[in-house]
Chains A and B, each alone.
Chain A
């Protein structure tokens, strides 16, 4: 009993509970901003080095120059048009390649006949780097939209195909048996058991393919295009406009991040049931 009484009281913090609360609020805000810390620090260091003349502006523009290029290109409308063109190419490639990959993945996962018929061929094509097809694609399609669509579709196809196939094949056979016992078959079994079971894997494929989508598109636009972000960067290089070249890189980074964040958002929304996506709030 006396032990407790003899313990020294904790020294009160100056300012009392209000200040401590404020401190906690600030630290929680800081924790939220933590991922931004490194990019901001790099930009600040970069700008400082440029201003001090440590980095030659002809080879690497200062962040403020890039910002100015962004402003000029936005005002002239050039940037908006190019982003729209690139985004449209990317999305149509994702749609075409993704749909084919998804459908073939499902078909080959469900039917062993379809799997035996097509899988070997697809795996052989997969080993060819799709950018190695560029010379052939230019001969076939010239530098028109078809070339870009073909290349991005092909690039997007494989991650979605492989992961959909894997997802369907790894659906718990006990759940499928349960579904059959309870009278499900065909479409119902697919909708209630197989597709939701494969969905986490399909999302992994989608996020992989988003990366490949931008990569393929950038290369295709740099080599053979008359519009788009890649074309903008490439023509800026001819006039030594390094600020525009760097601007294009920044835009690519932002678009890539946006695509990934969208996929994550969809993942979170559709996979609420998954323990990995559950908020522990509910008991």
Chain B
């Protein structure tokens, strides 16, 4: 009997950690990850649970008797679909709609499935967003096809180089450099009219909007370690983009 109880608590512990890991890897705010994990823990009768979530690792101590566990988070991407799915599983577990076993199996399926839109659609979306921002920022209508093209190219370059090198800053730097160089070439050739709005519009898909928002939200919620590290990542991204453009403009 005691043995069954013990494995059940181990399963609850695994379930909490897996939920936290998926959410953190998909770009949820730290305070939300902690909140979700604590709710799940309380629903499984772990009253003295404590967790400490940072963007690079999760520590979770379920109770006085069970050992503290640690999960390393090595890669982070933005996948809001996974955040939403894990959130709904944890809601169902807390409300009693799912048993612990069901929730754990569901979570493992979520972890293994790739929910992303196809790369072609993502590039198309980035290109469309660039075109829209060009007009919203007061750019010229004749620049629209270039912004559309360069926005898509920039997004594609980030994806390809990130897959090859695993260095995010480098891929963003190269993408910004290529976009600025293309824009400069088009304007020098007399095809484009306004260099500034063309570059700004095409760079919009690379802007670290999620990181900035998360950093501020975490700082305000009192999670200073995650807030500062998210802020550092956002700053590095902005710096890489800026350096890439600056390199072209200095010619």
Same assembly: no
